[in-house]
Amino acid sequence: MAMGPRAQRTREMLATAGLAAVLASACSSAPTARGLAQDAVIAMGGVEQLRGVQTLVMSGGSGTRNRLGQTVRVSDPDGTAQLSNVIEAIDLANGRAALDYQIENAGFMQHRQEVLTKKDGKLVGLENVAGRPLAVMSPSGLFSWGSQNSPEFLLRRNVIVVALAAATSAPEQPAQDKPFNGRTLRAATATLPSGETATVFFEPESKLLAGYEVLDTESMLGDVTAQYILSDYKPVAGLTLPHKITIRKGGQPYSEVQFSAASVNDPAAQDILAIPASANADVDTAIAEGEYSPIALTKVADGVYFARAYSHNSMVVEFPTFLAVVEAAYTDAQSHTLARALELQFPGKPIRYAAVTHHHYDHTGGVRTLASYGATILVERGHEPEMRMVLETPHTNPADPLETKRKAGQAVGSIEVFEGKKVVSEGSQSLELYAITGNPHVDPKVIAYVPTGRVLFQSDIFFPGTGAPASPDAVHLLTSVRDLKLRVATNVGGHGGVGPFAELEKAVAGRK
Ligand SMILES: [Zn+2]
């Protein structure tokens, strides 16, 4: 193989970095793993060009996303959501990243942006959903339905990062043949800057990366073997970069995005990753708090509290010696924040129970963290398989608090399965959980009732305090509450706010 000036320069830079590259080997008939990785770097534009990438913005993306955790029944096949207007920005120089996309799933549409950014060198998360105020949280509070579970993956799994790491860390030994995405390809083992190990695969003709296999820890799926399949390489500012990225996790489709454009070191990337001036005070709060997501506790009735978050709320029930939380929603950061707020307001009272109302991932994203605080997770039989997966699959890369405490042999909460109805009571206080069946949103669906305060909690079925019309879901809720003969006065929403029960009755009566 004749070496061009860029290839020559790449070899020199990799060699002078103290890497002892066996320069000749990549040109022989049995190249070493490192030689193949170095060839890939050359094919992508050379080490100098790749190291010169500070920001990369992939744009005009469209494709699909799976594993949203939004099925009606736990046993239903996973659906496929459509992604459009996908923009993915990374700042390799400063460790910042953003996902921006429109998602459409079974009639649900949302334009979302999740940004992992920094202030004074400290990481912070911004969630920007069309029609809602900007929310500020710790990085662990970022929740995404884009091509990834969180924008942080964009940094660790980027092709430039992986290619450069492989070119300096793959062994100086003959490359192995391994299966990848239905083909047998030459493979190299690489150590990523994060310390993780990746198996990197090479295209025989173009010498570019065909993709890589790594261990991803998803917030809900836990540890999964993930394949990143790269294709549609195109020239971008002196580089050659993949414009189609297909991700499979745990042997199943996860996301696939075809981008129409890419830009390198474009000043516009800074705007995507910037913190709006109006968010500065919230950013300072989020950084100071550590694991953080905005939450506020207000009293609904004696011993019943509404935990209002910016998107997914919970209800807290106070017993003489402990607390119960209905719905550990959205993210681990939200559960950490709720636990701190409860310790402040009810010092010494542990969160003994956390009830799951349904298996949807946006309403169960905080269960692992509440289990790490020792809460028993109350799960209806119909949600058991999904919740066992979430709570019992190892989460090691990196380890979350539940994984860490389990490994250390510390006491953590576990699942308690009930069927149809469960009552938690102490003294004169009680919390009743009922599984209602046949709701179009999810089946079964657990609703929670506190008889002392005549308070009902439900999520996703009716949005109290918002003036929202009644959907077929809400009609089913009202029928179910009447069938159960619950004397509800106040309706607390997993979305929306708190309202009189008459609001639901009126909305249902007003349906055309
Ligand atoms: Zn739901």
DSSP string, 189-246: EEE-TTS-EEEEEE-TTT-SEEEEEEEEEETTTEEEEEEEEEEEEEEETTEEEEEEEE
Confidence (pLDDT) at 106: 87
Confidence (pLDDT) at 18: 44
**465: CA distance to ligand 1 center in Å?**
19
**Reduced to 3 states, what is the DSSP secondary structure of residue 29?**
coil
Confidence (pLDDT) at 27: 47
Helix or strand (DSSP H, E) at 333: helix 332-345
Contacting residues for 451 by C-beta, under 8 A, at least 6 apart: 430, 432, 487
Confidence (pLDDT) at 247: 98
**461: CA distance to ligand 1 center in Å?**
8
**501: CA distance to ligand 1 center in Å?**
21
> Quick one: 312 exposed, middle or buried, by C-beta within 10 A (0-12, 13-18, 19+)?
buried
**86: CA distance to ligand 1 center in Å?**
24
Q: What is the pLDDT of residues 252-301, one digit of tens each?
A: 999 999 999 999 999 999 999 999 999 999 999 999 999 999 999 999 99
Q: Which two tokens stand for residue 176?
A: 């192995």
Q: What is the pLDDT of residues 75-107, one digit of tens each?
A: 999 999 999 999 999 999 999 999 999 999 988
Q: How many CB atoms lie within 10 A of CB 242?
A: 22
Q: What is the pLDDT of residues 333-379, one digit of tens each?
A: 999 999 999 999 999 999 999 999 999 999 999 999 999 999 999 99
Closest Cα partner for 481 from 472, 471, 469, 491? 491
**96: CA distance to ligand 1 center in Å?**
30
Q: How far apart are CA 275 and CA 502, in angstroms?
A: 42
Please tell me whether the peptide bond between 444 and the residue prior to it is cis, using omega within 30 degrees of 0: yes
Confidence (pLDDT) at 1: 39
Confidence (pLDDT) at 24: 43
DSSP for 113-144 reads EEEEEEETTEEEEEEEETTS--EEE-GGG---
CA distances to 192, 303, 339 from 255, in Å = 22, 44, 33
**460: CA distance to ligand 1 center in Å?**
5
Q: How far apart are CA 21 and CA 35, in angstroms?
A: 8
Answer whether 492's CB lies under 8 Å from 315's CB. Answer: yes
**360: CA distance to ligand 1 center in Å?**
5
* DSSP β-bridge partners for residue 56: 90, 264
Of residues 338 and 512, more confidence is placed in 338
- Mean pLDDT (the chain) is 94
**71: CA distance to ligand 1 center in Å?**
8
Instruction: Say whether pLDDT at 16 is over 60.
Output: no
- Model confidence band, residue 30 (pLDDT cutoffs 50, 70, 90): confident
Closest Cα partner for 263 from 292, 241, 287, 291? 241
pTM score, whole prediction = 0.93
How are beta strands 314-318 and 304-309 bridged, if at all? antiparallel
Instruction: Say whether pLDDT at 472 is over 60.
Output: yes
Confidence (pLDDT) at 512: 76
Q: What is the pLDDT of residues 367-412, one digit of tens each?
A: 999 999 999 999 999 999 999 999 999 999 999 999 999 999 999 9
Apex 301 CA angle, 295 and 305, nearest 5: 20
